[in-house]
Each structure stands twice: as C-alpha cells, then as structure tokens.
C-alpha cells in the first residue's frame, strides 16, 4: 500500500478502518480522491404515482452511517451531535428527544422501548423514554447500529467482534471474536435476528450465533476475499439486508449479492455484483444499486437477474426500499427517486433540502421517512 493510500486509514481496537462508503458515497474513487464522473442528468419527472410531503422536522447533521429503526408507527433516529429521537411517523412530532452528550457514530437500534447508539468516544449508550439508562465502554469502534432484542443489546464492532449486553443494566454478557481481513469498512453491517438465532455479517460470511452465549451455529459465505491487496479484498457484508421469513439476502461490498436460508444455515445463491450499499426485497425480488448508479433486481428464489435502471448513473445512490409496487432510493443531491417494482422505470421524484440522503428510506404508519446529511427529516405519503 502506498504512503498516500495509507494516510486514508486509521486504527481502532487493533483493526484497520477505511473511512469509506458512507451512504450517498458508494464508490472507492470518492474515498481516494479520484476525478469525479459527471452524474447523469435527471430525466423528466412523470409523477404518475401521486406522493405528497406530509411533514418535516430536523435532527443534528448526520455524518455517520445512520440506521433508522421502525417500531410500529414510530421511527427512531440519531444525529451526529448526540441527539436521539423517537418520532411519530404519521405526524413527525417527537415522542421524545434526548442527548447522549457526545457525537454519535452508530445508531439507532431500538426494540420500541430501549434505544441504543454508539458514541465517538467508544461508549455504547442505552436510553428509554428520553432518559439515559446506562453507558458501557467498548473495546473497539462500531459503525453498525446496535441491535436491541430480548432485553439485550448486541454490538457488531469494527474489529468484527460481536458482543451482548444486558439491556437493563449494561452488563456485558459475552463477546465472540473472529479473525478476518485487516481492513474493515466505516459502514453499517448486517446484524439482525431470525427466530432464536442472531445473524451477523463477519467479513464476507453470514453467520448464525446463539444469542445466549455467542457460539456459532452456522456460517454461509456470500463472498470470499480474492484481491491482490487489502482494499480489493474488502468483502464485508453491508446493511441494510432483506429478511423475509428465514430468507436473508445481503450484499458483500464490491463483490456479490446473495441469499441465505437462515433456518438451515445454507447458502441459497450468490451472484457477482459491484456495489457498496445494502439491499431491499420482497417475496419475489431483491433490489440494490451498483457503484456506478445502476439499480438492479434479482429473483429472490434463484438469483436470476431481472430489470435494470440506468437513468441515475453516478448520482451516489443509497440502499433502496422496496415497498408495495414501488422501489424508493435516495441520491447524494437530495432527491428521492420512486421506481416501478415491475420494471424499474421512474414513477415520481421528490426533492428534499439538496443535501445527500444518508440512509435507506423506511416506512412506518403509511409514511415514507427520509433523512438528509444536513439533518432534515421528511415524511412522504401516497395521495
């Protein structure tokens, strides 16, 4: 690795971190300062699907890989300034709002009662009803939103360790450490539950862990490191993932898209794919954006390629949201593009504040919630 590239890496908890691939910046060229490619001009907006802005509110500037948690009709999110808020998705009003007193670098995770985030000083912080419950020092930085379930808080750290904490007291219950490549992404990974199994991404593998003690139940490789240098060998699974029953589909960074049967712990299929953002899906499709801005679909059952949209090349796309008959995807210029699920053609385009959309859109209470880099939060509803 050259000295110029080496300067772009930093250490945390013994693991090398590449400051790459924050949502809205999915190409390695944007990390390494290469000449930017001109983004595609926007096609005329047909607006054949009627959508209106229902509300807007504000958070702190989002300069980290934000994950927005959905619990019933509420959404939970955080700002880089340490603000954590639960919003009523139908109105945009605060259910509660609090500060953790330090910049947030990962979050938010929530089970509807307990909210968890990670701060820049390596503290895992749990809150409830606007009050801080506890803080626990982590041994390594974390960029994946904590996962909260079963009165426990699970953390996937940048050194690829997975830890569990008591949700009421913050007491560490167990840690599981796996070896891996020396570089990891400064980007949210895969961390979720399927039945009684904790499913995590560790490098290019999806693993099923026993949530009570961290023991490995199964592993399924979506991608295997094959490059000639550490950067090319980065194949970490990136979030969000698509779960439907025991089917979990995910992207391995710049390498592949694949689906795993998490009930049996077996790989169903994997296909080469060159992208840096997560996926969304339903019972028939998996959808994601490639590094160059193409939006692709695959059949969920066998990985066969479906439609392609090439109208948003080099616009810095987020992970998508597949909901109903539509696919919603944000870009780095603050636009939310709504595509047809059937063939990927544009059906509407919605403007925000002009700063990058920084997380995959989510839906709660029949409202699509979108967050921008500057901290604006929007609620859009169909008419």
The CATH number given to whatever domain includes residue 324 is 2.130.10.10
Any idea what DSSP says for residue 64?
Answer: S
Q: Quote the domain boundaries for residue 356.
A: 3-382
pLDDT at residue 383, as a whole number = 84
pLDDT grade, residue 226 (50/70/90)?
Answer: confident
Q: Which of 29-38, 142-151, 206-215, 264-273 has the lowest mean pLDDT?
A: 29-38
Which is more confident, 193 or 24?
Answer: 193
Distance CA 172, CA 273 (A): 37
pLDDT in tens, 312-358: 999 999 999 999 999 999 999 999 999 999 999 999 999 999 999 99
DSSP SS3 for 241: strand
pLDDT at residue 184, as a whole number = 79
**Structure-token match 């569990």, residue found:** 164
Contacts of 140 (CB under 8 A, 6+ apart): 12, 13, 14, 15, 122, 157, 158, 159, 161
DSSP SS3 for 238: strand
Q: What sign for the dihedral angle of Cα 292, 143, 358, 88?
A: positive
pLDDT in tens, 28-64: 444 444 567 899 999 999 999 999 999 999 999 999 9
Q: Exposed, middle or buried by CB within 10 Å (0-12, 13-18, 19+), for 191?
A: buried
Helix (H), strand (E) at residue 10: strand 9-12
Q: How many domains does the chain have?
A: 1
Residue 68 has pLDDT above 70, yes or no: yes
Q: pTM (2 decimals)?
A: 0.91
Residue 21 has pLDDT above 90, yes or no: no
């Amino acid at each position: 690795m050259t000295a110029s590239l080496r300067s772009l890496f930093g250490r945390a908890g013994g693991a090398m971190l590449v400051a790459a691939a924050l949502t809205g910046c999915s190409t390695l060229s944007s990390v390494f300062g290469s000449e930017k490619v001109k983004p595609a001009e926007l096609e005329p907006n047909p607006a054949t699907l009627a959508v209106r802005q229902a509300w807007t509110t504000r958070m702190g500037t989002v300069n980290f890989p934000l994950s927005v948690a959905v619990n019933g009709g509420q959404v939970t999110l955080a700002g880089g300034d340490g603000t954590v808020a639960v919003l009523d998705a139908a109105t945009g009003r605060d259910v509660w709002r609090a500060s953790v007193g330090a910049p947030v670098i990962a979050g938010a995770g929530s089970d509807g009662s307990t909210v968890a985030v990670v701060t820049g000083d390596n503290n895992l912080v749990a809150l409830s009803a606007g009050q801080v419950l506890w803080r626990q020092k982590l041994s390594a930085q974390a960029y994946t939103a904590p996962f909260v379930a079963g009165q426990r808080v699970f953390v996937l750290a940048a050194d690829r360790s997975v830890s569990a904490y008591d949700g009421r007291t913050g007491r560490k219950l167990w840690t599981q450490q796996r070896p891996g490549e020396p570089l990891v992404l400064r980007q949210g990974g895969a961390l979720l539950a399927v039945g009684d199994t904790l499913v995590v991404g560790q490098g290019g593998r999806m693993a099923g862990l026993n949530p009570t003690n961290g023991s490995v139940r199964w592993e399924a490789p979506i991608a295997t490191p094959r490059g000639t240098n550490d950067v090319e060998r980065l194949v970490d699974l990136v979030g969000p993932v698509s779960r439907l029953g025991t089917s979990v589909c995910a992207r391995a960074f710049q390498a592949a898209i694949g689906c795993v049967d998490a009930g049996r712990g077996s790989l169903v299929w994997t296909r080469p794919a060159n992208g840096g953002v997560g996926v969304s899906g339903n019972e028939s499709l998996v959808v994601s954006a490639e590094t160059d801005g193409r939006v692709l679909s695959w059949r969920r059952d066998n990985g066969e390629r479906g439609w392609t949209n090439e109208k948003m090349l080099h616009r810095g796309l987020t992970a998508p949201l597949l909901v109903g008959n539509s696919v919603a995807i944000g870009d780095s210029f603050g636009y939310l593009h709504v595509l047809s699920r059937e063939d990927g053609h544009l059906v509407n385009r919605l403007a925000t504040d002009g700063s990058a959309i920084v997380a995959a859109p989510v839906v709660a209470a029949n409202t699509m919630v979108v967050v921008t880099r500057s901290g604006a939060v929007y609620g859009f509803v169909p008419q």
